[in-house]
Amino acid sequence: MALRFFQTIPAVVLLILSIVGIILLVLPAKEVEAPPENMYGIVLDAGSSHTSMYIYKWPADKQNGTGIVTQHSECHAKGGGISSYAGVRGGAAESLKVCLEQAVKDIPKSRHHQTPLYLGATAGMRLLKAVNATESDQVLKEVKQKMRSYPFSFKEATILSGSAEGAYGWVTVNYLNENFAKYGFSGRWLHPGRETIGALDLGGASTQITFETSVKVEDSSEMMELTLYGQVYRVYTHSFLCYGQDQFLRRLTAHLIKTQGVNPQIYHPCYPKQFNMSIKLGKDVFNSPCTQSYRPAQFDPQMSVMVVGTGDYHSCQGNVKKIFSFDNCSYSKCSFDRVFQPSVRGRFMAFSAYFFTHKYISHLSNIPITSPSQMEAAIQLVCNMTISEMTEKTKQPEKYMKKVCAVSNFVQVLLTQGYGFNELSFPSISFQEKAGGASVGWALGYMLILSNMVPAESFVLMKALPSGPWAGILFLFITLLLFGVGYLLITIRNTRNKEGMV
């Protein structure tokens, strides 16, 4: 009897385990909606003065063909923009190393090979290509080789057109303000039906204006159609090369040298009183295609010139206006330099150098700048300050403060006389650096458009286990149950036969 008991123990244990396993698998289980993993994308913004890397992420399922993208992290490369490494073999590629190494750490290893990697070069490289196409091609070649050496899905390293840069900036602005899609209380992304916001971008070598318009765009090269979240948007966009703040300052200095002559000392009405600096005529002024029209017939590129600041608002503004051309418009309406522009309408966001200029003059003057008249009053106060007053009040170094008066006057003329903002429309401009935790610029808009090219992964309904493994484990437990029953029956029969023989 004891022998039969011990022989049946393994079969009973097997039966109990099988029954418990089957019960656990077939009992009603709550179905959960399991989102797929995040997708990632990397955009390197190769500007004229520096390179920034932005890592974006979005759920692998998408809304009407466009990913819901958020900024994951960012990195700012040391040194100048990649165009500044022309003639320095390997310099541009090496400048990206620190940020690309950070991307390797920031993105999960399992997603490395699926992460698209892009580099977009802007006005700095556009200028280099205009001056020396061989050098710009060499810089891009070296950058591409460097990017391909990382475990990401390298897509392209290219020079963006000015219109593309403006359009992508417009997409960023409206995305961050939830004008394309908004997360509703129902837990779904909805189209909010809002009017879009115009974008004003001021970089180092170019400036862009982009806004949605319903009027006829008389120059077809300045009109773009974009499709996002199932909606089609028709936008006006124009990029003014050589009107970024760095190139504008070069042009202003070149204009003053042309006016005053090539002398050991020139007076600069836009630089603060008590400020002076030494510059080289070639490297700091005339070695740029933006200053070609101001270049003297004969000059020594190595000649040093002392620039003396006089802090004269009226003289500064007068000289700044001469950089623009407001005549000879061949269209029904122009901004400047014979470029067609419809009247500005609606709200605008001004970012990049606009933000910092607005921040400095507001802080230095203690005047809230919400109208052209307030901006003019604030700039007059700033231009009358000495360099020591400016650095003391802002706690910022001279290299930033020296150009506040000049760039402020430039922004004032650009916005009011160039783009046509007045007392009624100027208050609609919001000066911002970030929105929704993301940096405002063209890179996010670029990633949003490019995310259309990433295959979508749908949500899946799951029990405790995915359907495949769940069915396999259920089959295993049923097999064990049948095996246990068979083993138990055979054990009982064998035991009875032995007892019968006895």
Q: Which residue in the list 74, 165, 212, 222 is annotated as catalytic?
A: 165
Grouping H, G, I as helix, E, B as strand and the rest as coil, residue 289 is: helix
Nearest CA among 236, 219, 237, 225 for reference residue 162: 237
What gap in Å lies between CA 44 and CA 55, rounded to an integer? Answer: 9
Tell me: is residue 292 an annotated ligand-binding position: no
Grouping H, G, I as helix, E, B as strand and the rest as coil, residue 269 is: coil
What gap in Å lies between CA 26 and CA 21, rounded to an integer? Answer: 9
For the question of residue 165 being annotated catalytic, the response is: yes
Tell me: is residue 71 an annotated ligand-binding position: no
With contact defined as beta carbons under 8 Å apart, do 123 and 162 qualify?
Answer: yes
β pairing state of 198-202 and 348-352: parallel
Tell me: is residue 204 an annotated ligand-binding position: yes
Secondary structure string (H, E, C) spanning 161-193? CHHHHHHHHHHHHHHHCCCCCEECCCCCEECCC
Grouping H, G, I as helix, E, B as strand and the rest as coil, residue 90 is: coil
Tell me: is residue 187 an annotated ligand-binding position: no
Give the contacts of 234 (CB within 8 A, at least 6 positions apart).
212, 213, 214, 223, 224, 225
What gap in Å lies between CA 159 and CA 205, rounded to an integer? Answer: 14
Q: Is the dihedral of CA 187, 189, 195, 200 positive or negative?
A: positive
Tell me: is residue 205 an annotated ligand-binding position: yes
* Dihedrals phi, psi of 115, to nearest 5 degrees: -85, 115
Catalytic annotation, residues: 165
Positions at the binding site: 204-208
Q: Could you tell me which residues are annotated as the binding site for ATP?
A: 204-208
